[in-house]
Amino acid sequence: MRILLVLQGDWIAPRFDLATEVLLAIIHKGKVEGKPREILLSRLSGEELCGLIVKKDVTHVICGGIEEGHYQYLTWKGVDVIDQVIGKARYALRLAKTGQLVCGTVIGKG
Amino acid sequence: MKRSTLKRADVLPFINCIPHGIALIDVAGNLLCMNDYLEVISGYKNQDVVGISARFVLRSSLPKKNNPIDKVALTREPAIVETDIISATRKKMPVRITVTPFAGGDTQSCVLCFIEDISFLKKLDEHYGGEIRSFGIRGHSKAIQDLLDFLPVLSRTDATLLITGETGTGKDLLAQAIHDGSDRAAYSFIKVNCGALPGALLESELFGHVRGAFTGAHTDKPGMFRLAQGGTLFLTEIGDLPLPLQVKLLTVLDDKEFFPLGSSKKVQVDVRVIAGTHWNLDNLIKEEKFREDLYFRLNVLRAHVPPLRDRQGDVKLLADYFLQKFAVELKKVIQGFTAPALSLLMDYSYPGNVRELSNIIECAANMCPEKKITPEYLSDNIRFPSLSSPSEKGTKVEKTDGEQILRRLSEDRNTIFADNWKGTEKNMIMETLLFCKGKKGAAAKELGWGRSTLWRKMKQHGIS
């Protein structure tokens, strides 16, 4: 399972199309394989981010708000999109590993 | 926490009645509460997101740094921003957020965000922006709004149109707007000034010629009618079109075909003709300077562009628009007009209409080193309208008694302006005659002319 978390600092970014960085983690048998990789994006673009997700063979995307067009594209490409998530990325990843993260989850308060 | 819960309980019943998104945010940017409408839009429940940074809940495109909501919390100055948010249904919604400081209790202050869905307004904006506003016709007055309401009707048809209006009112702009809003917009819009060229040249310009048609015709020329094929041909100053050409134009309008100069091959054209004039064509017909049949052929549809003095309230709008435009062009920071300057601008009659206003503002924007335009940077036409208005000057000078003129002239000789040499000469003669107390011999000597020259020129100018 390859999970991509759309970031704003330590938190899940509120907007997929306005994200500047992402975290890519590979989960195998419920554990993170190696060190999750942070990727800085060259510019703000939902389309480019979709391209990157497909290119990296990501299976799950965790983000805040995402436009219908991007959502449909990713699901059509077989990517499982868990959107409207609020919370710190590391907690979101922890829940995702165990399959507990669903759309609209609010993880912590800050 | 107890105090803040109490506050929410007090506020929620009230804000839930409002059919727009409302959020109360504390000075740190965290959500205190939101109404039912915003719960539906965001997809979150109040109890789940209270205390969380509002940007995660609202999901707007406002930047994290220099966020207007944070600014209002600090400055306590209200602000309005237009942005977009991603809704729970993954729809990107254009919204207008009005942020105001809110005294939410005796210990804690916060800001209130009023979130309006402006999708409908944006759609209207795109619709009308594409059809009318982007064409550069600006104005809120009834006179101009009536014209704009009529614009789609004028654009939809291929009928010949006659645009009338004083000089500088924007007849060309209207013609361009009608073309841009029509099905012919993908083709050319060609403007020909009928008063700019002598008859023979104009015929060649309009209808084209073949090589060898006349001396100097070294190559074929297609002519404006053929260049405007499929599009619109705007014949401005149609009142100045020579009579022989009026006949040919009438034939083309009827038959949609013509022979280029020197050619025996008929050319068929599909062109919409729009004519414009500042003349009263009825008068020209009476003077036999314009053919009545052409007038009837052109006057299928008619649009009159109102003069600026009849456009109540548009002067300020246009002055602000031109100032902003020229300030950007000149890379200057000019914020507006001082109250006296604005008052002068509003009171002037603008015989040259929008063009004159544009020129006045351009001049002021160039000359003014201040942040606001003051009266001294406005042209003399505005500051001394009774002396310098070209349309009024002739009659006013004749009606006023000699002593007044002499006093006015002696006050500032440089304030007398004329639109041409004829007017300047007339002023000069009158001024000298008044100075010499009507003695023609002394006036002629003062002017450096002979008595007979002065007499002849006085007769020319109608000075008795």
Q: CB-CB: which of A18, A65, A110 is closest to B53?
A: A110
Which residues in chain B have Cβ-Cβ distances shorter than 8 Å to A14? 55-56, 58-59
The answer to whether B92 contacts chain A (CB < 8 Å) is yes
Q: Are residues B283 and B164 in the same domain?
A: yes
Q: What is the ipTM of this complex?
A: 0.90
Tell me the residue range of the domain where B223 lies. Answer: 129-304
Which residues in chain A have Cβ-Cβ distances shorter than 8 Å to B47? none
User: Which residue do the tokens 């054209």 mark?
Assistant: B269
**What is the reported pLDDT for B50?**
84
B240: CATH: 3.40.50.300
Q: How far is A14 from chain B (nearest CA, A)?
A: 5
Does the residue A68 lie in any domain?
Answer: yes
Q: Is A40 helix (H, G, I), strand (E, B) or coil?
A: strand
Cβ–Cβ of B49/A86 closer than 8 Å?
yes
Q: CB-CB: which of A14, A67, A71 is closest to B55?
A: A14
**What is the reported pLDDT for B268?**
92
Which residues in chain A have Cβ-Cβ distances shorter than 8 Å to B48? 106
Q: Are residues B243 and B152 in the same domain?
A: yes
As a whole number, mean pLDDT of residues B403-426 equals 53
Q: CB-CB: which of B59, B91, B92 is closest to A14?
A: B59
Q: How far is B191 from chain A (nearest CA, A)?
A: 43
pLDDT digits (tens, 9 = 90+) for B189-207: 999 998 888 877 888 889 9
Q: Are residues B254 and B330 in the same domain?
A: no
As a whole number, mean pLDDT of residues B50-67 equals 84
Domain limit, last residue, from B304, B330, B357: B304
Q: Are residues B83 and B202 in the same domain?
A: no
Q: Are residues B314 and B299 in the same domain?
A: no
Q: Are residues B169 and B299 in the same domain?
A: yes
**What is the reported pLDDT for B358?**
93
Q: Are residues B200 and B298 in the same domain?
A: yes
Tell me the residue range of the domain where A49 lies. Answer: 2-97
Most confident of A28-37, B70-79, B406-415: A28-37
**What is the reported pLDDT for B452?**
86
Confidence band, pLDDT 50/70/90 cuts, at residue B386: low
Does the residue B150 lie in any domain?
Answer: yes
Cβ–Cβ of A104/B51 closer than 8 Å?
no
Q: How far is B104 from chain A (nearest CA, A)?
A: 21
Cβ–Cβ of A106/B48 closer than 8 Å?
yes
d(CA B123, CA B24): 29
**What is the reported pLDDT for B444?**
87
Cβ–Cβ of B85/A64 closer than 8 Å?
no
Q: How far is B15 from chain A (nearest CA, A)?
A: 24
**Percent of chain B predicted with pLDDT > 90:** 23
Task: Kindly report which listed range (A73-82, B67-76, B351-360) carries the lowest average pLDDT score.
Answer: B67-76
d(CA B25, CA B22): 10
Q: Are residues B11 and B103 in the same domain?
A: yes
- Domain total of chain A: 1
**What is the reported pLDDT for B387?**
56
**What is the reported pLDDT for B294?**
92
B11: CATH: 3.30.450.20
**What is the reported pLDDT for B106?**
45
Task: Kindly report which listed range (A26-30, A35-39, A43-47, B106-110) carries the lowest average pLDDT score.
Answer: B106-110
Q: How far is B94 from chain A (nearest CA, A)?
A: 13
Q: How many Cα atoms occupy the beta-carbon half-sphere of A52 within 13 Å? A: 25
Q: Are residues B336 and B410 in the same domain?
A: no
Which residues in chain B have Cβ-Cβ distances shorter than 8 Å to A109? 51-52
Does the residue B297 lie in any domain?
Answer: yes
Task: Kindly report which listed range (B116-120, B125-129, B325-329, B366-370) carries the lowest average pLDDT score.
Answer: B125-129
Does the residue A106 lie in any domain?
Answer: no
Establish, for the pair of chains A and B, how many residue pairs have beta carbons separated by less than 8 Å: 50
**What is the reported pLDDT for A66?**
93
pLDDT digits (tens, 9 = 90+) for A94-107: 888 888 888 888 88
**What is the reported pLDDT for B78?**
80
Q: Are residues B152 and B291 in the same domain?
A: yes
Q: Is the pLDDT of residue B65 over 60?
A: yes
Does the residue B124 lie in any domain?
Answer: no
Which residues in chain B have Cβ-Cβ distances shorter than 8 Å to A64? 56, 59, 86
Confidence band, pLDDT 50/70/90 cuts, at residue A69: very high
Does the residue B288 lie in any domain?
Answer: yes
**What is the reported pLDDT for B2?**
45
Does the residue B122 lie in any domain?
Answer: no
**What is the reported pLDDT for A75?**
92
As a whole number, mean pLDDT of residues B399-416 equals 43
- Domain total of chain B: 4
pLDDT digits (tens, 9 = 90+) for B121-161: 777 666 554 444 546 788 888 888 888 888 888 888 999 99
Angstrom CA distances, B433 to A82, B392, B443, B463, stand at: 93, 21, 5, 10
Q: Is the pLDDT of residue B24 over 90?
A: no
Does the residue B123 lie in any domain?
Answer: no
**What is the reported pLDDT for B439?**
85
User: Which residue do the tokens 């509120």 mark?
Assistant: A14
Domain limit, last residue, from B76, B96, B117: B117
Q: State the Cα angle at B218 between B216 and B220, rounded to 5°.
A: 120
**What is the reported pLDDT for B19?**
85
Across chain B, mean pLDDT equals: 82
As a whole number, mean pLDDT of residues B13-35 equals 84
Q: Which helix (H) or strand (E) holds A35?
A: strand A31-40
Cβ–Cβ of A68/B44 closer than 8 Å?
no
What residues contact residue B247 under an 8 Å CB cut-off, 6+ apart?
A: B291, B294
Q: Are residues B344 and B281 in the same domain?
A: no
Domain limit, last residue, from B353, B383, B413: B383
Q: Are residues B244 and B136 in the same domain?
A: yes
pLDDT digits (tens, 9 = 90+) for B326-342: 988 888 888 889 989 98
A38: CATH: 3.30.420.130
Q: CB-CB: which of A12, A18, A68 is closest to B91?
A: A68
Q: Is the pLDDT of residue B370 over 90?
A: no
**Nearest chain A alpha carbon to B62:** A18
Does the residue B221 lie in any domain?
Answer: yes
**What is the reported pLDDT for B141?**
85
Cβ–Cβ of B56/A14 closer than 8 Å?
yes
Give me the sign of the Cα torsion angle B366, B370, B371, B373: negative
**What is the reported pLDDT for B41?**
85
**What is the reported pLDDT for A109?**
56
As a whole number, mean pLDDT of residues B264-275 equals 93
Cβ–Cβ of B52/A64 closer than 8 Å?
no
Q: Is the pLDDT of residue B406 over 70?
A: no
Confidence band, pLDDT 50/70/90 cuts, at residue B409: very low
Selected for mutation to probe chain B from A44, A66, A84 (highest B CB count within 10 Å) is A84
**What is the reported pLDDT for B7?**
61
